[in-house]
Structure 1
Amino acid sequence: MCLKIGAIMLMLLSLNAMAVPTDDISSMLRQQEQAWNQGDIEGYMSGYWQDDKLRFVSNGTVRYGWQTTLDAYRKNYPDKAAMGQLNFKIEEIKMLSNYAALVVGHWQLKRIKDAPAGMFTLLVERIDDQWVITHDHSSD
């Protein structure tokens, strides 16, 4: 009896030690938020899949590629004042498999002159042992 209880306890402890994918995804998004708020666009972009197949949909435009997305961010947010302070509010992280999740949330920028806000839907995938955004659809 004691052996069975000990085995069950060991199994439960090992499950707690395993990383929960939603926690890893939330952590990646918090790191993006922090990088943005420090004026570090390249750090922010580390949450995106560094590949030509990355897809970014916004303002009626579809962009492909990590570099294209980085260039658009640099153009639209040339300095820290333009970047403002970013805040994400995650509504849901739905695991689609062990290697893919759908994330729905809100974004808001607080700047001196305005406070644009909107929503996003992200496809986040585990590639090369790292969670990265492979598809981003953001709207105002």
Structure 2
Amino acid sequence: MLLKGLAASLLLVCCAVTAAPADEVMALLRQQQAAWNQGSIDDYMAGYWHSDNLRVVSGDRFRYGWESIREAYRKHYPTREAMGQLTFSQVDIKILGNDAALVVGRWSLKRDKDNPSGAFSLLLEKINERWVITHDHSSD
């Protein structure tokens, strides 16, 4: 009986460990969505790798560096109204290893004047025990 209970406990731990990275990545996306919808670009940027090597590709533009990208967001979304309400959908997370994940999905903004939307792909890496976005490619 003790062995059966131990085996069941071990199975639960193994399953939890396997599911944890995808859950952690999804939690990061939910935090970003909430920060955006509260109008906080700084909190939204907390999901990104704070490094000069961070890369964001949007349309035909390549941007590098956390500070540069944060300033671009501030310029393009100067007010909460301009930011609108962000929704992620059709999110698919593929864990690539213990410290890397690929996420693809769709994004949409609901604003008074329009409702832009598009697709995204993200490379997330676990750096210093924390999942962060190291590469973001978004399109309309």
Q: What TM-score results when the alignment is normalised by the length of structure 2?
A: 0.94
Deviations 1:52-95 (A, max 9, x none): 00000002010000001000000000000100000011431011
Equivalent AA in structure 1 for residue 100 of structure 2: A
Q: Name 1:71's counterpart in structure 2.
A: 71
Structure-2 residue corresponding to 1:52? 52
Query: C-alpha root-mean-square deviation of aligned residues, in Å?
Result: 1.2
Q: Output the amino acid matched with 1:7.
A: L
8 A Cα contact 1:90 1:103, kept in partner: no
Deviation at 1:17, TM superposition (A): 4.9
Query: Does residue 117 of structure 2 align to residue 136 of structure 1?
Result: no
Gaps of 5+ in 1: none
Note the C-alpha offset of 1:120.
0.3
Q: Distance in 2 between matches of 1:7 and 1:30?
A: 34
- 5+ residue gaps, structure 2, are none
1:94 is paired with a residue whose SS is: strand
d(CA) in 2 for partners of 1:10, 1:30: 29
Which letter does structure 1 place at the counterpart of 2:92? E
| Identity in percent | 55
Structure 2 distance, partners of 1:101, 1:28, is: 12
What amino acid sits opposite 1:9 in the alignment? A
SS at match of 2:69: helix
Question: Relative to 1, partners in 2 of residues 1:110 and 1:72: Cα closer, same or farther, differing over 3 Å?
Answer: same
SS in 2 for 1:20: helix
CA shift, 1:9, in A, is 1.7
User: How far does residue 44 in structure 1 lie from its aligned partner after superposition?
Assistant: 0.3
Q: Which secondary structure does the structure 2 equivalent of 1:25 belong to?
A: helix
